[in-house]
Amino acid sequence: MVVKSQIKFIKNLQQKKYRTQNKLFVVEGIKTVKELLESTLKVHKIYVTDSTVLGLNNDFVELISEGDLRKMSGLSTPNKVLGVFHFPVPRQIDFSDWVIALDDVRDPGNMGTIIRLCDWFGITNLICSPNTVDCYNPKVLQATMGSISRVNIVYGDLQQVLGEIDIPVYGAFMDGTVVYTEQFPKKGVLVMGNEANGVSEAIENLVCKKISIPQFGAKTAESLNVATATAILLNEIRRG
Amino acid sequence: MVVKSQIKFIKNLQQKKYRTQNKLFVVEGIKTVKELLESTLKVHKIYVTDSTVLGLNNDFVELISEGDLRKMSGLSTPNKVLGVFHFPVPRQIDFSDWVIALDDVRDPGNMGTIIRLCDWFGITNLICSPNTVDCYNPKVLQATMGSISRVNIVYGDLQQVLGEIDIPVYGAFMDGTVVYTEQFPKKGVLVMGNEANGVSEAIENLVCKKISIPQFGAKTAESLNVATATAILLNEIRRG
């Protein structure tokens, strides 16, 4: 049986404050939990409402009632399995390949999609400004699928990091050079800005090359979403 | 004052059944409502809680209380303006340029992002299978921004439509030809499939060229999200 304090503890992990304090995060759903169990992430606890789903032969798997799962879940319709995992220890950013830098990306869906894109395009390092949405936010995790375990995500002072490196810093801007004419080097940083305001002025000053995705047809659209722009730019960098 | 029956009528438009029956849809938020007012769409009614937002010099603008807006809104925090617009009359699909076909895309966020991408890349025609999510679903509209007024969206029998045309039909598949080597013609159809199952077998039989976005690095990611894949493929078609 799960005690009340345990339910409260898990429920609290829906909030960034408690996640950061405990260095633990929650994922829900059979598929993602199974994928993370097979990853390098360290598991803290798994709760299941159906013993046939995962097997109970592990110390960290506990059978609970559907009522208790509902109480600890962040979903309106909980999905049989809830996993609690330890934060991975962030590694030092490796600048020997392309790195993505996020300057205050706030939408969890965008963040999740970008992490999944990094995984697809073999980008293993993602730097995020402190105001970028928390990568362990449940809505981020829902959009990343298992990719969260394969991308090294580091939060830090972008201005300091970008100021210290000696590889080219590219940035996505509405008024940059058309990306199709660009010959990308083997390594670099690509900065993607905030949904409403784009790249901040402080970071813009550190960008050595502004790039842009051209608009076609009647040119009536106002902008591209930051996640779809990242998809297109990563594809441009990798296609060569 | 808004009468109860009116509130109920607007609230019901959150459901596809009532939207289809009345050929009316709801958008919320100042920015999108203003954009749609300037488009070719025909307005039915606008409700505002603040008379300074839009001006009240039009017959279709009505000042209401915040309580009434809360009752008719689909948002947890309603945003001063709610607009009701008539469905545009779908035009016949124009196959003289590229057309996107959606084979049971179900997620409203994906659908909204794809409509916005069409607008960006100058794709003015979108055909959707009957089981594709309704483009007037509030969550779709939230992701499309004003693009909904600039893309001709037609729901119909994909098998019949694709069977009758004489331009090349491309489809996004996991095991297709690498898209980078493809020389795209001036016109064609690009089929994007369902989030979980991809393109259906019946439609696959009508695809003359399967294309794929290659994966890079450790190749650990399971798939790309359908909206980001559409972004990359539209960019490939348009970049030439």
pLDDT digits (tens, 9 = 90+) for A140-182: 998 898 899 999 999 999 999 999 999 999 999 999 999 999 9
pTM of the model: 0.94
Distance separating alpha carbons of residues B136 and B26, to the nearest angstrom: 8
Going from the first residue of chain B to its last (240 residues), give the mean pLDDT of each consecutive group of 10, the final group possibly shorter. 89 96 95 91 94 76 93 91 95 96 97 97 97 97 91 97 96 96 97 97 97 93 93 96
B237 touches chain A (CB under 8 A): no
* Site from B118, B125, B228 to mutate, A interface, most A CB atoms within 10 angstroms: B228
Q: How far is B48 from chain A (nearest CA, A)?
A: 24
pLDDT band at A240 (very low <50, low <70, confident <90, very high): confident
pLDDT band at A56 (very low <50, low <70, confident <90, very high): low
Kindly report the average pLDDT of chain A as a whole number: 94
Beta carbons of B117 and A147 less than 8 Å apart: no
Beta carbons of A122 and B219 less than 8 Å apart: yes
Q: How far is A10 from chain B (nearest CA, A)?
A: 25
A39 touches chain B (CB under 8 A): no
Distance separating alpha carbons of residues A233 and A211, to the nearest angstrom: 9
* Site from B107, B235, B237 to mutate, A interface, most A CB atoms within 10 angstroms: B235
In eight-state DSSP terms, residue A217 is T
A211 touches chain B (CB under 8 A): no
Instruction: Name the strands in the sheet holding A99-102, side by side, starting at the edge strand that comes first in the sequence.
Output: A152-155, A125-128, A99-102, A189-192, A169-178, A209-212
pLDDT digits (tens, 9 = 90+) for A77-93: 898 999 999 999 999 99
* Site from B39, B121, B215, B216 to mutate, A interface, most A CB atoms within 10 angstroms: B216
Q: How far is B121 from chain A (nearest CA, A)?
A: 5
B183 with B92: CB under 8 angstroms? no
Kindly list the residues from chain A whose CB atom is less than 8 angstroms away from the CB atom of residue B218.
122, 150
Q: How far is B2 from chain A (nearest CA, A)?
A: 32
In the prediction, which pLDDT does B102 show?
98
Nearest CA among A94, A107, A83, A78 for reference residue A192? A107
Q: How far is B217 from chain A (nearest CA, A)?
A: 4
* φ, ψ of residue B29 in degrees (nearest 5): 100, 140
- Closest Cβ–Cβ partner in A228, A236, A238 for B227: A228
Kindly list the residues from chain B whose CB atom is less than 8 angstroms away from the CB atom of residue A180.
239
Distance separating alpha carbons of residues B226 and A240, to the nearest angstrom: 23
B131 touches chain A (CB under 8 A): no
Beta carbons of A116 and B145 less than 8 Å apart: no
In this predicted structure, the answer to whether residue A126 has a pLDDT above a threshold of 90 is: yes
Distance separating alpha carbons of residues A193 and A34, to the nearest angstrom: 33
- Closest Cβ–Cβ partner in A117, A222, A235 for B235: A235
Distance separating alpha carbons of residues B127 and A36, to the nearest angstrom: 37
Distance separating alpha carbons of residues A117 and B21, to the nearest angstrom: 40
Distance separating alpha carbons of residues B212 and A167, to the nearest angstrom: 31
Beta carbons of B180 and A239 less than 8 Å apart: yes
In this predicted structure, the answer to whether residue A55 has a pLDDT above a threshold of 70 is: no
CB pairs under 8 A between A and B: 94
In eight-state DSSP terms, residue B89 is P
In the prediction, which pLDDT does A170 show?
98
Nearest CA among B99, B238, B74 for reference residue B165? B99
Bridge pairing between strands B99-102 and A169-178 = unpaired
Nearest CA among A127, A137, A138, A136 for reference residue A104? A127
- Cα of B61 vs its chain's centroid, Å: 26
pLDDT digits (tens, 9 = 90+) for A7-19: 999 999 999 999 9
B123 touches chain A (CB under 8 A): yes
The beta-carbon contacts of A43-48 under 8 Å, at least 24 apart in sequence, are A43/A83, A43/A84, A43/A85, A43/A86, A44/A84, A44/A85, A44/A86, A45/A83, A45/A84, A46/A81, A46/A82, A46/A83, A46/A84, A47/A2, A47/A10, A47/A72, A47/A81, A47/A82, A47/A83, A48/A80, A48/A81
Dump the DSSP string for A147-165: GGGTSEEEE--HHHHHHH-
Choosing among 1.10.238.10, 3.40.50.1970, 3.50.50.60, 3.40.1280.10, the CATH entry for B99-239 is 3.40.1280.10
Q: Could you say which residues from 84 to 113 on chain B have a Cβ atom under 8 Å away from some Cβ of chain A?
A: 109, 113
The CATH code for residues A4-86 is 3.30.1330.30
User: What number is the ipTM of this complex?
Assistant: 0.94
Nearest CA in chain A to B228: A228
Kindly list the residues from chain A whose CB atom is less than 8 angstroms away from the CB atom of residue B231.
224, 228-229, 231-232
Task: Quote the Cα angle for A162-A164-A165, to 5°.
Answer: 70
In the prediction, which pLDDT does A57 show?
66
Q: Domain limits of chain B?
A: 4-86, 99-239
